[in-house]
Amino acid sequence: MSRSAPAPHRVVVLALDGVYPFELGIPARIFGSAGRLYEVLTCSADGRPVRTFADFTVTTEHGPEVLATADTVVIPPSEVTDEVPEALALIRPGTRLVSICTGSYVLASAGLLDGRPATTHWHMAEEFGRRFPRVRIDPGVLFVDDGDVLTSAGAASGVDLCLHLVRKDHGSKVANQVARACVVPAWRDGGQAQYIERPVPSPSSESTALARTWALGHLHLPLSLAELAGKAQMSGRTFARRFQREVGMSPGRWLTQQRVDRARHLLECSDLSVDRIAGEVGFATAASLRQHLQAAVGVSPLAYRRTFQAGGTAAGAPAGAGAAL
């Protein structure tokens, strides 16, 4: 007797009045491109048509009752108010909560972000911090994964966050397939810092891009800040400052992130030993790889490999692992 296929992970998108149409469609586009792994339903807070930020309304197929059946609830941005939708009370404890852009205001108004790290659109971050002082707002990142509650920055960062969830649930191979189907980057370096309005740099200003490209091809080497700065023909201090401005994080944190990402790919797609993978990505020892992977995704290399090579679901929540060069 054959076993039936597991039920798809149900994602319910809550459309509130004034919803932004682009962000409203992101979950269906990203999760829907993962085949039968997800089921995406869109609902309104009261079952009635929803006025959008554009010059049209949308009619959803479902009312708020489907929130009680969700494994993940996504709240796209809408008009910012202090009101907490009554429909949120229907969400079961333990349901994964996700906001895109100013959807974070809904979660914060309900007290669901108190004491947690979170992000929102950089343009609203200062006002958000004043309104919700108990939330640890980080305006410099594309998204924040705090386990069962995830928040993203503005507009297209909702794509980054949904792809991150696919990667977290089913591994890089599936996430890369989804990214290719949607013709979007599988991963974007840096954070919101690269999009915040600043004076345009002079044409003579150098970029750290060439050094980054070189580093990605030499992750197995014990790279130093001085070496990367030399590739960019800058002093170490200038390089670090420009790197932070362009990428949104320090060179050391970025390098650790790239090494962890490469290690995850090798754990998923190769049979190399953990010691060999550690050397391939530039961690001095297997113990160092275990430490950084544990910080990033909450599991050991062997547990990670078992999970994704078996096509299962990852445990743990990625956190920004950073280390000095």
The per-residue pLDDT for 45 is 97
The per-residue pLDDT for 58 is 97
Number of neighbouring beta carbons within 10 Å of residue 4 = 6
Structure tokens at 259: 């090494």
The per-residue pLDDT for 141 is 83
Query: Element (H or E) spanning 227, and its range?
Result: helix 225-231
Assess contact for 80 and 105: CB atoms under 8 A.
yes
Alpha-carbon distances, residue 113 vs 101, 107, 146 (angstroms):
14, 6, 10
The per-residue pLDDT for 173 is 86
The per-residue pLDDT for 319 is 35
Task: Give average pLDDT by consecutive 10-residue segment, the chain, 325 residues.
Answer: 77 97 97 96 97 96 97 97 93 97 97 95 92 91 91 92 93 89 78 54 62 91 94 92 85 93 88 94 94 87 79 37 33
The per-residue pLDDT for 15 is 98
Alpha-carbon distances, residue 317 vs 178, 255, 276, 296 (angstroms):
21, 20, 25, 7
The per-residue pLDDT for 255 is 94
308/194 Cα distance (integer angstroms): 32
The per-residue pLDDT for 84 is 94
The per-residue pLDDT for 191 is 63
The per-residue pLDDT for 192 is 67
The per-residue pLDDT for 155 is 86
The per-residue pLDDT for 199 is 46
The per-residue pLDDT for 256 is 94
Structure tokens at 221: 């080497």
Strands (E), the chain: 9-15, 38-44, 50-51, 57-58, 72-75, 96-99, 117-118, 136-137, 143-145, 149-152
Tell me the sheet residues that pair with 322: none
The per-residue pLDDT for 88 is 97
